[in-house]
Amino acid sequence: MTQRPLLGATPPMGWNSWNTFGAQITESVVRETADAMVATGLRDAGYEYVVIDDFWEADERDAGGRLQAHPERFPSGIAALADYVHGQGLKFGIYSCAGTHTCGGRLASYGREEIDAQTFADWGVDYLKYDFCYRPFGADGPTLYRRMAQALRATGRDVIFSACEWGINEPWAWARQAGCHLWRTTGDIVDNWKSIRDIGFGQAKMASYGGPGGWNDPDMLVVGMRGKGNVAEGGCTDDEYRVHFALWCLLPSPLMIGCDVRAMDTFTSELLAHPGLIAINQDPAGLPAWNLNGDENHWDWKNFQLWARHLADGSIAVGFFNIHDENTHKMVVGWETLSLDPRRKCRVIDVFDDEEVCITDVSFAINVAPHSVKLVRLVPILD
């Protein structure tokens, strides 16, 4: 018997409507987004899911108790929209909630898990984002997510199950066993430096829980939003977006684009499709990154961060992150902190530029500007 491939073997990649469109999402936007993901090369770069977030729902279920699409914003219905997305060589995702209503007050799936899961499967859904609002008193997260995961499995359709529980009950400790393929570790991200910094560099304590089949999710990308859209709160500089994307790739985290891909500038499209960064994120070993600073008691934890990750080919990705507001830092990583013999020579490859920087042993040092990142791969040279 042929064994089915592991669902969620690498972090999911795609686009979600919430960050830019929020309650204003429409069928035409989704169709245009699917077209843009093909035209801009994002699909070929690995982004495969097009996910509708909240506010797709009608005010009432149909006579059979099934959820329905909003008749004005989604006049063709969800099945037809899923067919269109599939026709572009992409996969289709949708949103519901573990409570009685979604976070936007729309109809949700509590007590209707089986009929809703079957409805989604009948529509051709490949990905379900499942939120945590309006849950009944006493209904715990593990039980609610286990119920929907079981309902999805019973349909016989492969559906990536995203637990958007916001880290309230430490889902990294139980969500994989409950049947989830990714789980939110934090509250909602917004488009500013403080949000990226606080969420991204706060992932160390749960890093070891992520891996093939189940991933820590520090929320969607705000790369390229430029202070526009539903979660716009100031925007970021190019360097800050580079920090954001490099860290999410290194951790590794799901890569769910949140900007309007129909209107990306060149910087955004090139960053999101960067082959070297995506290769690190999608590395088949799925090993977690770790924070070389240790913890928040480190003497300079608030000024710079060093993160490293072993890759399947034997190389090591190292991110040098300067989170200071003003000063450039000279940052150093020693071989002993990476489990390398100090005598082992390594090629040092700049990931962003895809260029060899040097060949060295013992340690490597580099200057990093404020709110910026340098990301390298150390490739051991074997005698």
H-helix or E-strand containing 269?
Answer: helix 266-272
327 lies in the same domain as 251: no
**Does residue 7 fall inside a structural domain?**
no
**Does residue 42 fall inside a structural domain?**
yes
pLDDT digit string, tens, across residues 222-279: 999 999 999 999 999 999 999 999 999 999 999 999 999 999 999 999 999 999 999 9
What number of other Cβ atoms are within 10 A of residue 82's Cβ? 24
Rounded distance, CA 356 to CA 23, Å?
46
Collect all residues with Cβ–Cβ distance below 8 Å to 161 and sequence separation of at least 6.
128, 130, 145, 148, 149, 152, 179, 180, 181, 182
Boundary (domain end) residue, out of 231, 258, 281: 281
Boundary (domain end) residue, out of 263, 281, 299: 281
Collect all residues with Cβ–Cβ distance below 8 Å to 213 and sequence separation of at least 6.
6, 7, 8, 9, 176, 181
314 lies in the same domain as 211: no
> Mean pLDDT, to the nearest integer, of 355-367?
97
354 lies in the same domain as 209: no
Q: From 269, 190, 189, 192, select the one nearest 236 (Cα to Cα).
A: 192
Stretch among 67-76, 138-147, 246-255, 286-295 having the lowest mean pLDDT: 286-295
Phi-psi region of 111 (alpha: psi -120 to 50; beta: other; left: phi over 0): left
Rounded distance, CA 338 to CA 17, Å?
39
Q: Is the dihedral of CA 141, 142, 145, 148 positive or negative?
A: negative
Residue 198 annotated among the catalytic residues of the structure: no
> Mean pLDDT, to the nearest integer, of 344-371?
97
**Does residue 82 fall inside a structural domain?**
yes
**CA distance between the termini of the chain:** 43
**What is the model's pLDDT at position 226?**
97
Residue 122 annotated among the catalytic residues of the structure: no
Q: Copy the structure tokens of residue 120.
A: 């989604």
CATH number at residue 322: 2.60.40.1180
> Mean pLDDT, to the nearest integer, of 130-150?
95
pLDDT digit string, tens, across residues 84-127: 999 999 999 999 999 999 999 999 999 999 999 999 999 999 99
Average model confidence (pLDDT) across the chain: 96
**What is the model's pLDDT at position 369?**
97
Q: Which domain covers residue 357, as residue numbers? A: 290-380
Q: From 284, 194, 299, 262, select the one nearest 17 (Cα to Cα).
A: 262
Query: In which residue are the tokens 């990226």 written?
Result: 196
302 lies in the same domain as 327: yes
97 lies in the same domain as 168: yes
35 lies in the same domain as 156: yes
Q: How many domains does the chain have?
A: 2
Boundary (domain end) residue, out of 237, 259, 281: 281
Q: Quick one: pLDDT band at residue 176, thresholds 50, 70, 90?
A: very high
191 lies in the same domain as 304: no
Q: Is the pLDDT higher at 301 or at 203?
A: 203
β-strands 182-184, 215-217: how paired?
A: parallel
Q: Which of 54, 116, 131, 217 is catalytic?
A: 131
Query: How is residue 49 annotated by DSSP?
Result: E
Q: Say whether pLDDT at 311 is over 70.
A: yes
Cβ atoms 182, 163 nearer than 8 A:
yes
133 lies in the same domain as 273: yes
**Does residue 2 fall inside a structural domain?**
no
Q: What is the phi/psi pair of residue 17, to 5°? A: -75, -20
Q: Copy the structure tokens of residue 135.
A: 């849950």
In the chain, pLDDT over 90 holds for what percent of residues?
95
Rounded distance, CA 109 to CA 243, Å?
37
**Does residue 69 fall inside a structural domain?**
yes
Query: How is residue 3 annotated by DSSP?
Result: P
The strand ranges marked E within the chain are 13-16, 49-51, 91-97, 127-131, 160-163, 182-184, 215-217, 255-257, 290-291, 304-310, 316-322, 329-334, 346-350, 355-360, 363-368, 372-380
pLDDT digit string, tens, across residues 300-310: 657 899 999 99
Q: Which of 35, 158, 188, 239 is catalytic?
A: 188
Collect all residues with Cβ–Cβ distance below 8 Å to 28 and sequence separation of at least 6.
none
**Does residue 1 fall inside a structural domain?**
no
pLDDT digit string, tens, across residues 153-166: 999 999 999 999 99
pTM: 0.97
CATH number at residue 126: 3.20.20.70
Amino acid at 328: T
Q: Copy the structure tokens of residue 112.
A: 């209707």
**Does residue 8 fall inside a structural domain?**
no
329 lies in the same domain as 259: no
**What is the model's pLDDT at position 129?**
98
**What is the model's pLDDT at position 299?**
46
**What is the model's pLDDT at position 26?**
98
128 lies in the same domain as 164: yes
Stretch among 139-148, 223-232, 300-309, 324-333 having the lowest mean pLDDT: 300-309
Q: From 122, 171, 6, 247, select the one nearest 236 (Cα to Cα).
A: 247
309 lies in the same domain as 180: no
**What is the model's pLDDT at position 294?**
65
Q: How many residues does the chain have?
A: 383
Query: How is residue 203 annotated by DSSP?
Result: -
Amino acid at 56: W
Q: Copy the structure tokens of residue 231.
A: 């979660």
268-279 burial code (b ≥16 CB/10 A, e <16): bbebbbbebbbb
**Does residue 4 fall inside a structural domain?**
no
116 lies in the same domain as 29: yes
